[in-house]
Structure 1
């Protein structure tokens, strides 16, 4: 049905990085009111409540496959739904939305690097050069243009946490490539959200009882949570998968590079963030690295932010 709508794949591919950018900006704006683990947990609870009526029949129909691959599904959910998103929201406490989006845009680099390290996939010289350029770009962004900050370990904690988040997504993508779970897309997504929410639950309860104390539910906190669940969660994932099916993963991956552009614009408009020359120089190196690295590897990581 969706494939009959002309241009929908490209419309979705423009909206998807916009939603991802919005995830970083809204997280930065609300992290002082909603603790990161609360943000991550309730985002996925809402998403689960919305998707479960559609995904539950598939979970029941493919219960045997789920049982056989339960450990694999649990590990995948831990690195993607649980770790990646929780770390991203922790990063928002001490770094800018622009930096989050710039570092997040290097996911293909981490996937290529980890595929080489963990799967032994061949890395050609051009791809290695791209990885190197992107890493230098990340260091420039993290060091605010002064690499002595990196050498002296004075980088913003949020930038380093975001690197850990992207590393987590890279591990997920490589494991997903290595251990294919034969489930339909909707069933797989529903299982991932369900298992990931269960993984977050004990950490959320511990944070609620002994650290953050939770948050006050109001319009200013409920709306961001609904946004996280619907737009960068369910809709972005649906648009992404539809586009990959229609135009292929290599063409769809190019649109990922719009995320830091949208994030910078939104952060300037709504958060009062400013762009420095180091942002532009770092972004150019990251973009050049991405184009070189993904020029050889035509696969695109699945996105589930």
Structure 2
């Protein structure tokens, strides 16, 4: 009889701290590399590399559960389109015309969009405190998008990248809600491998259009290969593994609190590596977003 000692709990917390750091790095590295790698090339090759790495581990599960995959293929294709394909592609497009700090702040509102869409599409009960949180977070997004100026909203002068990032977050929220509605009975690794494969196929025709008619390719070198490797390993495979492990060990409610670190890490990294400076609208918008997140995701104690 073999004995496997439990892993220390602190390892789960280390992983939960590293996960938002990797997510923040996704925005910062994308912003730094966008002049060298077109956005769809960035998205496509990120997932190709991730697929090559994960396929040897995920392929046995795909073969073992191929009947389930065939049964849920349509649902999984839709899920992969909104998550693997659309979310990351839109995020990289956003990097063309907005800052890494803005990307991270808007990205931090994912739980808000999930709660809002779950209420609209699934009829989830929403408490007054959650509604207040959603309103505060939306106000925070508008503050960031408007750069603290009401005229930006009234005259429709928002940066395209901010609006594209809102669309990216909406896409991930829709994926999360649809995943709840159409749960796919697959092990985590099998599901992830299948999602990456399907999402890469969805991106492929758009990547070929971009390659042929718009941005063209990119030169293979340190300035392009290193960002792609980062995207594949850190915000891709490792963040997913660390997040799942952390949720399993400490619970989803406590793990969700670590998401608040993403805009903090992003602002520091963007300042150090990209020279981005925080404006007053970043601070005000960030406080509103984080307050909204706290209110919308906190669990009220059960009544005695």
Aligned to 1:56: 59
Structure 1 gaps, min length 5: 299-305
Aligned to 1:249: 252
Contact residue 13 and residue 255 of structure 1 kept, 8 A: yes
Shift of 1:152: 1.1
Q: 1:129 aligns with which of 124, 129, 132?
A: 132
Question: Aligned partners of 1:75, 1:67: CA distance in 2, in Å?
Answer: 14
Aligned to 2:185: 182
Q: 2:32 aligns with which of 29, 52, 58?
A: 29
Question: Aligned partners of 2:34, 2:300: CA distance in 1, in Å?
Answer: 36
Where in structure 2 are the equivalents of 1:16-165 lying within 5 Å?
Answer: 16-165=19-168
Structure 2 gaps, min length 5: none
Where in structure 2 are the equivalents of 1:229-268 lying within 5 Å?
Answer: 229-268=232-271
Contact residue 81 and residue 192 of structure 1 kept, 8 A: yes
Shift of 1:4: 1.4
Q: 2:231 aligns with which of 228, 231, 235?
A: 228
Where in structure 2 are the equivalents of 1:195-234 lying within 5 Å?
Answer: 195-234=198-237
What SS is found at the alignment partner of 1:7?
A: helix
Question: Aligned partners of 1:296, 1:36: CA distance in 2, in Å?
Answer: 38
Which stretches of structure 1, 4 residues or more, deviate above 6 A after TM superposition?
none
Question: Aligned partners of 1:148, 1:63: CA distance in 2, in Å?
Answer: 54
How many residues are aligned here? Answer: 298
Shift of 1:147: 2.2
Q: What per-residue deviation string (whole Å, max 9, x for no partner) do you get for residues 117-140 of structure 1?
A: 111111111110110000000000
Aligned to 1:303: none
Q: What per-residue deviation string (whole Å, max 9, x for no partner) do you get for residues 6-27 of structure 1?
A: 4110000000000000000000
Q: What per-residue deviation string (whole Å, max 9, x for no partner) do you get for residues 45-95 of structure 1?
A: 000000000000000000000000000100000000000000000000000
Which of structures 1 and 2 has the bigger CA Rg?
2
Question: Aligned partners of 1:252, 1:32: CA distance in 2, in Å?
Answer: 35
Using the size of structure 2 for normalisation, the TM-score is 0.96
Question: Aligned partners of 2:226, 2:273: CA distance in 1, in Å?
Answer: 16
Q: Are 1:172 and 2:175 matched, yes or no?
A: yes
What SS is found at the alignment partner of 2:298?
A: helix
Contact residue 88 and residue 165 of structure 1 kept, 8 A: yes
Q: CA RMSD in A?
A: 1.2
Contact residue 9 and residue 249 of structure 2 kept, 8 A: no
Shift of 1:229: 0.1
